[in-house]
Each structure stands twice: as structure tokens, then as C-alpha cells.
């Protein structure tokens, strides 16, 4: 049975602490190894479908898990070879080796099979594989049609997702043991892991752990709802109103009952259902029924754009910032008491870090440091997006369609997030909901879609959450 904590993501240190908590509570290391190995063996048995399996075992507990897998497969009648270039180096691994009722090859030359299970090294690896081990792994991978990585592919660093060796094999299946690790969701490592599945071993909730964004729980409007109770979302237009119109279209499909585009001039590209309000921005934003404001898409970067951003902060209580607003933003712009969600891509994130004096490298690290320093929720966009809150919460975003790499995709995401905030979600929840809806809309839109197609599919994505 999958634990309710199955979406948490643990560092190596957190995983060791969680395992130690189980041990302190009376679960022995050998029992944990049996849980991991037998749970993984169920997956291997399915994918092998009666074909022979080769299990590559290392000296640590990951190798011990491999011996358990081999024994479980053998007991089911499977043909199994075990390759172990080194003897077990931990007590639990030695016990698992002793329980294996078969031979052990010290090299892979005579190993034959269809499925390779890589149990050479696990999540604690911090240095590259030796030339001998790297060669052995590549050779076995080349000679097996289907490859399974236990916990992580050997040669991958767990906390950062770094590939410690060049030319690591690609796997069809990766079985995470006990909890997800950061490398399961981070590039470049994620791209070699294939399908990923979690094997539970009883790990409990770890305080402060990151987690993976899941499908949101969105409810249909109440039977007595009207456009204002469902949420009024305002989008501030600027020098290039097309981007703001696109964001507004997305917001209209993401749940808000009323979306206004605040523009100096009427925009004939606006859909009929979108209210376009001209006049002074300060007057438009004085409507206390506005639940959330989006500023940035097409805003521009001149003095007029700076003035519109300043007026937004003077009147709005809850703000989503995207695109140009992120480049213009400085620490002095953020007033107290305003809830802010920033949605930068890597270039905008770098600019924000310069403006706020953040010194960090890597998307996740920058997002976390910026959120803590600025008080904003930061949705750092990319192929492995992360969401960081000022209080330390961190969410990792599952991979979405690569067809999202299209102009205007970010405007759609910002519009969804603003709409969810207008519906009453806090900034962190709105960001999590928005990235899931964005990815689901891309899946529904198919291939080679435009940003307009993506915005139109958001309503169908909402339907998938009801």
C-alpha cells in the first residue's frame, strides 16, 4: 500500500534519517532490505515477463537489495544471473548475499539475459564510477534489451541530479526506494531514467521535506455563485498588449468568474467575453472586489511600465509578477502586506537575483534564496521547474510536454496562476495548481500547438480535477 507521504522528496541525509527512525522504532535493517528488494522484484518480474534477468550488485546496501531481488525472482521460477564485482561490505548486504541460493559472477562476460537490474551503487554516491565499474555497467547495458535502475542509476548524484560519469546507460524503468530523491525530478539525470515508480518501505512523513506537485483538488462553483464570488482577476496591459490578452484568455479558463484587462487603449484582439477597461490604472485598481492582479506580460520596460508596476503595488493585495515586471522589480518596490507570486524563467531569475543581491547557483537554489530574502513565492520555470516559498516550503514539478517550449506559454501559465489566486488560493497553492493545469493543458492540446491553443485547453484541464 502506498503511503500518504509518497509524494515527498528527500535528500540523502533526510532519507538516512527516515530509515534510522524506522530502525529506532524496531524495524531492522535486514527487514528494510527485504521490503525494498521484494517490492522492486515485483516490478522486475512484471517487465521480465519470463525472460532471463541479470542483477548487477555492488558492495553496499543497494547491492544487498539486488541479492533480495534475485532470490525473489528465483523463487518465482525466473532465470537469474547475479554479477558482483566486489563482495558485500555491509552486514545487511552480507546477510542478503548468504540468502541468495545461486552462483555469483565476478565479471559480466558470461551473464546473459533480457533484463538488466542495476544495483551497483545507490543514492549515497558522490564520486564518479571507477573506469572498471563504468565499463562493466556499459557492457552489460549494451547486452540487455531492457534496463532497470534500482533507486537511482549508478553514476548519478542524488541531491543534485548530476551525472558523475559520461556515457551512462539509459534505463526503461527506475524504481525509487522508500521515497523520491531530488535526482528523480532534476535534469540532466532525469532524462536517462525512463518510467519511474516508487517502492514503499514504510518511510513516514519527514518534516520540512520537499514534495512533488500533484493534481489539484478543485471544486465546481457553489450553486449560488456569481461572477464576483468566483473571483475577479485583473490583468495589467502595457506596451505590447497581445501578451496580456493571452494571459487573460488563460485566466478566463482557469476558474475566475470575472477577468478584466486593464489597458490604456481598447484592444480589438480581445475575446468578446473579456472586459477591457481603459482610463487611469489607479482608478481601475481601486475596485476592492479585485482578488488578484497579474502584471508583466507585455508590460514593457520603460518609465511608463515602471509607473504601472508602482501603481499596481499601491492598490493590489495579491499580485502575480511575470515577464517584464520581473526585470523591473527591485526590493524597494515590494510593499509590506502584499502577497506576491513571481514566475521567472532562468534569465528573469538571474536578473531578480542580481536586483535582490542573491548569490546562488542552480534554479532550485536561486529560487529558495530569493523567496526567503524577498518574501515572494517563486515559481522558477524550466524543464524541471521548482516552487519555493519564503517559509522554506519547496515543491518540484513533474515533467510536462516539451511542446510547451512555445512563445506565449509563460503568459498562459501566469494567467492560470492569477486566476487561481483570484479564486482564493494562496500564492504557493496557486503556483502548484497552475503548473499542473499548464502541463495537463499541454497534454490535451497535443503536438505543435500555439499558446492560444494552450489557453483554450485550460478549461479541459480544470475538468480533469473535478
pLDDT at 426: 98
List, edge to edge, every strand of the sheet that includes 115-119.
Answer: 80-83, 53-57, 115-119, 146-150, 173-177, 195-199
pLDDT confidence tier of residue 267, bands split at 50, 70 and 90: low
* CB half-sphere exposure, 275, CA atoms < 13 A: 10
pLDDT (tens digit per residue) in 366-418? 999 999 999 999 999 999 999 999 999 999 999 999 999 999 999 999 999 99
d(CA 77, CA 72): 9
Distance of CA 27 to the CA centre of its chain: 31
Quote the mean pLDDT of the chain. Answer: 95
How many structural domains does the chain have?
2
Domain that residue 270 falls in: 232-463
Residue 442 within a domain: yes
d(CA 329, CA 48): 55
Q: Per-residue pLDDT for 265 more than 80?
A: no
pLDDT at 260: 96
pLDDT at 109: 83
| 438-455: average pLDDT | 97
pLDDT confidence tier of residue 266, bands split at 50, 70 and 90: low
Is residue 246 domain-shared with residue 207, that is, in the same domain?
Answer: no
Q: Per-residue pLDDT for 241 more than 50?
A: yes
Residue 225 within a domain: no
| 287-297: average pLDDT | 97
d(CA 424, CA 420): 7
Could you tell me which residue, 349 or 110, shows the higher pLDDT? 349
Is residue 330 domain-shared with residue 446, that is, in the same domain?
Answer: yes
Alpha helices by DSSP H, 80-123: 91-99
Using an 8 Å Cβ cutoff, are 129 and 165 in contact? yes
pLDDT at 1: 42
Is residue 319 domain-shared with residue 194, that is, in the same domain?
Answer: no
Is residue 136 domain-shared with residue 249, that is, in the same domain?
Answer: no
pLDDT confidence tier of residue 112, bands split at 50, 70 and 90: confident
Residue 218 within a domain: no
Q: What is the CATH number of the domain that holds 393?
A: 3.40.1190.20
| 162-173: average pLDDT | 96
pLDDT at 4: 58
pLDDT confidence tier of residue 55, bands split at 50, 70 and 90: very high
Is residue 330 domain-shared with residue 455, that is, in the same domain?
Answer: yes
| 319-347: average pLDDT | 96
Q: What is the CA radius of gyration of the chain?
A: 26
Is residue 168 domain-shared with residue 236, that is, in the same domain?
Answer: no
Amino acid at each position: 500500500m502506498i503511503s500518504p507521504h509518497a509524494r515527498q522528496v528527500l535528500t540523502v541525509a533526510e532519507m538516512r534519517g527516515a530509515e534510522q527512525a524506522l530502525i529506532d522504532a524496531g524495524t531492522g535493517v535486514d527487514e528494510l532490505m527485504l521490503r525494498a528488494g521484494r517490492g522492486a522484484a515485483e516490478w522486475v518480474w512484471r517487465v521480465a515477463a519470463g525472460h532471463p534477468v541479470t542483477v548487477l550488485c555492488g558492495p553496499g546496501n543497494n547491492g544487498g537489495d539486488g541479492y533480495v531481488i534475485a532470490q525473489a525472482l528465483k523463487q518465482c521460477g525466473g532465470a537469474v544471473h547475479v554479477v558482483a564485482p566486489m563482495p558485500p561490505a555491509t552486514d545487511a548486504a552480507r546477510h542478503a548475499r548468504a540468502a541468495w541460493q545461486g552462483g555469483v559472477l565476478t565479471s559480466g562476460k558470461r551473464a546473459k539475459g533480457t533484463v538488466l537490474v542495476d544495483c551497483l551503487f545507490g543514492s549515497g554516491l558522490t564520486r564518479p564510477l571507477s573506469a572498471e565499474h563504468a565499463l562493466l555497467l556499459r557492457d552489460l547495458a549494451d547486452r540487455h534489451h531492457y534496463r532497470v535502475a534500482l533507486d537511482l542509476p549508478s553514476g548519478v548524484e542524488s541531491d543534485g541530479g548530476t551525472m558523475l560519469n559520461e556515457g551512462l546507460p539509459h534505463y526503461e524503468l527506475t524504481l525509487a526506494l522508500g521515497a523520491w530523491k531530488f535526482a528523480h525530478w532534476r535534469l540532466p539525470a532525469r532524462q536517462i531514467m525512463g518510467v519511474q515508480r516508487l517502492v514503499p518501505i514504510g518511510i513516514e512523513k519527514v518534516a520540512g521535506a520537499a514534495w512533488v506537485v500533484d493534481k489539484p483538488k478543485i471544486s465546481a462553483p457553489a450553486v449560488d455563485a456569481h461572477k464576483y464570488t468566483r473571483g475577479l482577476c485583473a490583468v495589467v496591459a502595457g506596451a505590447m498588449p497581445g501578451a496580456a490578452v493571452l494571459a487573460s484568455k488563460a485566466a478566463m479558463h482557469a476558474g475566475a468568474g470575472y477577468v478584466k484587462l486593464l489597458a490604456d487603449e481598447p484592444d480589438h484582439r480581445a475575446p468578446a467575453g473579456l472586459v477591457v477597461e481603459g482610463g487611469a490604472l489607479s482608478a481601475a485598481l481601486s475596485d476592492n472586489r479585485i482578488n488578484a492582479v497579474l502584471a508583466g506580460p507585455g508590460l514593457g520596460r520603460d518609465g511608463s511600465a515602471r509607473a504601472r508596476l508602482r501603481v499596481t503595488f499601491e492598490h493590489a493585495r495579491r499580485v502575480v509578477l511575470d515577464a517584464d515586471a520581473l526585470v523591473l522589480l527591485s526590493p524597494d518596490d515590494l510593499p509590506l502586506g502584499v502577497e506576491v507570486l513571481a514566475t521567472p524563467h532562468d534569465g528573469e531569475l538571474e536578473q531578480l537575483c542580481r536586483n535582490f543581491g542573491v548569490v546562488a547557483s542552480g534554479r532550485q537554489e536561486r529560487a529558495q534564496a530569493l523567496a526567503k530574502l524577498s518574501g515572494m513565492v517563486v515559481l522558477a520555470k524550466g524543464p524541471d521547474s521548482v516552487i519555493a516559498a519564503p517559509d522554506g516550503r519547496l515543491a518540484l514539478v513533474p515533467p510536462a510536454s516539451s511542446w510547451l517550449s512555445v512563445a506565449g506559454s509563460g503568459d498562459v501559465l501566469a494567467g492560470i496562476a492569477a486566476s487561481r489566486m483570484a479564486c482564493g488560493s494562496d500564492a504557493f497553492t496557486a503556483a502548484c495548481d497552475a503548473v499542473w493545469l499548464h502541463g495537463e493543458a499541454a497534454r490535451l492540446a497535443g503536438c505543435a500547438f500555439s499558446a492560444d491553443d494552450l489557453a483554450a485547453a485550460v478549461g479541459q484541464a480544470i475538468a480533469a480535477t473535478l
